[in-house]
Amino acid sequence: MITVYGEGRGLRVVWLLEEMGLAYRLRPVDLSKKLKDSDPEFLAINPGGFIPAMTDGDVTMVESIAIMEYLMARHGPTELAPAPSDPRYPGYLQFLHLGEAGLATAVYYVFGAHHLAPPDQRENWTAQQALRGFGTRMRLVKRQLERAPYMAGEAFTAADISVSYALLLSKRAGGIVLDDAVKAYLARTTARDAYQRALDVCTATRDSAPAD
């Protein structure tokens, strides 16, 4: 049985599992508690204490994008991952990773600065650098949406799960306004049945989502 530990970026993994129709369970992880004392079982899985982590039999992994690549390779094939010989593959791979390394990583720190930092540090240099980084990477997403409805072209792929998660996080970060084409894209990806089922599982995420 595949077990996903934690929501947050674990939503990506749960969404993918729902798209693929694989059996899994979500094991909640409460990051707000002092993990060291409260959750030794999770720390045995990931001593770093961050989420998500995933176990599948003897396999234990962290990093949401790596977990997605593993699941599609081991439990595929799936149309969510174009093959290396497919002309869509380079763009797919680029946006699969840009969604985390370019977008979510930057916007996660914007979120932290705006919601968790001491008031006098909420707009400090590093917070502004993270916001600028998110903005420059978004130019690639916007250009792609001028060319096609999805990150890899005409069809939804795992790259859209990766990028959509970053966009959902950006809506919670504060001070980020998505333009209409990006909003329409996010409405398209999150209208999928698999996303709605993922939200039924990731109840903490569902309950913290901002109203539009």
Among 8, 82, 91, 99, binds ligand GSH (CB under 6 A): 8
Among 3, 22, 28, 49, binds ligand GSH (CB under 6 A): 49
Q: Would you count residue 181 as binding ligand GSH (CB under 6 A)?
A: no
| Minimal distance, residue 94 CB to ligand GSH, in Å | 16
Which window, 18-26, 46-54, 80-88, 138-146, contacts ligand GSH (CB under 6 A)? 46-54
CA-to-CA distance for 37 and 101, rounded, in angstroms?
Answer: 30
Among 45, 100, 130, 131, binds ligand GSH (CB under 6 A): 100
Per-residue binding letters, 61-80, with ligand GSH (x by CB under 6 A): --xxx---------------
- Residues 6+ away with beta carbon under 8 Å from 58: none
Among 4, 9, 150, 158, binds ligand GSH (CB under 6 A): 9
- Paired residues of 62 in beta bridges: 53
CA-to-CA distance for 53 and 60, rounded, in angstroms?
Answer: 7
DSSP characters for 41-84? HHHHH-TT--S-EEEETTEEEE-HHHHHHHHHHHH---TTS--T
